[in-house]
Amino acid sequence: MVEQSTRATDRPLPLPRANLLHLLEQMVLIRRFEEKTMEMLALNRIRGYCHWNIGEEASVVGAVTALTENDRLITSYRDHGFAIARGTPPETVMAELFGKEGGCAGGRGGSMHMVDIARGYFGGYGIVAGHLPLAAGLALAADYLGEDRAVLCAFGDGATNIGAFHESLNLSKLWHLPVVWLITNNQYGMGTSVHRASAEAELYKRACAYEMYSEQVDGMDVLSVYEATERLLRRAREDREPSLLETLTYRYPGHSYADAGKSYRTKEEIERWHQRDPIRLFQRYLEEHGILNQGEYDLVERRVSQKIEEAVKFAEESPFPSPDTLFKYLYAEEGTK
């Protein structure tokens, strides 16, 4: 399927140069950010889980960049990259991982619960497919209030075998809710491959049970993901039609910090996906179109590196929440919503 998709390089430039470079820089930022979190984990600055988006940058950045300012995003726990792609400052994502007050959830959420309501990011959730009904509800609210926005709901391939997935797809089509369901199919739910978990391994086909439009795209090609998501979000906003989009991608590291990712995948398979590294693919595309040269790419890396150093510095310097605030945020205080 990956081989069959149309390569971005066959098409004319779909976006202005600045936007293309922005896509690249966001992908590099997420890659380097995640690599830094591995380092910080080893140094015990970060505790608990860490589910990385490494390898999935094109799927994440392509989809999130297609959102308008008004649109809303909600995701699973593999969420660092989604927050960053939505524009959440990397320093507040890093500070969240450090468990600091300056984190985007005040250090209460950690790796799995990034959030940025002001930017329309309604959070990362730790129970597989548990947030899909919430996405339907966010879309319902937008519809109810007559708001010009759509909801993008991202989850992994592992989420498609649980009831909440089916219930949410059914409700969204039944009620014509403006939502795009995004399967980031990285081939494995933890260590169980799609083929060992799903009777229908072509996950996008499941939408047909709900008379819902769906398609599958090359998740290593940022432009394909962007183009499809943008089109489907427009359809959600304008026609009040939900849809299901599957991106075929791969996570290079293991499921989380405790998994090397090697017991259930062959070296050859991992190598094969590395051949289609989303950042290298897009870098090559930009070079072929004369948009980027090696020197300019190096500048991107340098800018990213600086941002990440600043993120770590911010996270280090941000204070830990005081134990006195243990019960803060459990219930609404007077005057809050």
Partner 1 sequence: MAEGTYRQALQQALREELIRDERVFLMGEEIGLFGGSYKITDGLLQEFGEKRVRDTPISEEGFLGAGIGAAMGGLRPVVEIMTINFILIAMDQIVNNAAKIRYMFGGAIGVPMVIRTPGGAGVGLTAQHSQSLEVWFASTPGLIVVAPSTPADAKGLLKASIRSNDPVLFYEHLMLYNDKGEIPDEDYVVPIGKAEIRRPGKDLTMISHSLMTQRSLKAAEELERNHGISAEVVDLRSLRPLDFDTIAASVRKTNHVLCIEEGWLSYGIGAEIAARVADECFDWLDAPVKRIGGAEVPMPYSKPLESAAMPSHERILEAAIRARRGS
Pick the stretch among 136-144, 222-230, 233-241, 295-303 that binds partner 1 (CB under 8 A): 136-144
Q: Which of 14, 48, 163, 319 binds partner 1 (CB under 8 A)?
A: 163
Q: Which residues are bridge partners to 180 per DSSP?
A: 152, 243
Dihedral of alpha carbons 210, 215, 220, 221, sign = negative
Q: Quick one: which of 135, 150, 159, 245 contacts partner 1 (CB under 8 A)?
A: 135
Q: How far apart, in whole angstroms, are the C-alpha atoms of residue 219 and residue 270?
A: 15
Residue number, 164 or 232, with CB nearest to partner 1: 164
Q: Are 281 and 220 in contact (CB under 8 A)?
A: yes
Report the residue number, 116 or 227, with the smaller CB distance to partner 1: 116
Of 132-140, 194-202, 259-267, 277-285: span binding partner 1 (CB under 8 A): 132-140
DSSP 128-148: TTTTHHHHHHHHHHHHHTT-S
Q: Footprint of partner 1 on residues 270-329 (CB under 8 A)?
A: 328-329
Long-range contacts: 294-301, Cβ < 8 Å, 24+? 297/24, 300/21, 300/24, 300/25, 300/28, 301/28, 301/32
Position 331 contacts partner 1 (CB under 8 A): yes
For the bound state, the minimum distance from the C-beta of residue 67 to partner 1, rounded and expressed in Å, comes to 15
Residue closer to partner 1, measured from CB, 90 or 103? 103
Residue 212, classed as helix, strand or coil, is coil
Q: Which residue blocks in 175-277 are alpha helix, DSSP H? A: 194-197, 222-239, 267-274
Applying the rule CB under 8 A, the residues between 168 and 187 that interact with partner 1 are 168, 170-171, 174
Q: Site for partner 1 (CB under 8 A): which residue of 52, 125, 210, 250?
A: 125
Q: Which of 142, 152, 228, 311 binds partner 1 (CB under 8 A)?
A: 142
Question: Could you tell me how many residues make up the chain?
Answer: 337
Q: What does the alpha-carbon distance between residue 153 and residue 164 come to, in Å, rounded to a whole number? A: 13
Which residues of this protein are in contact with partner 1, per CB under 8 A? 72, 74, 103-109, 113, 115-117, 122-123, 125-127, 130-142, 144-145, 163-164, 167-168, 170-171, 174, 328-332, 336-337
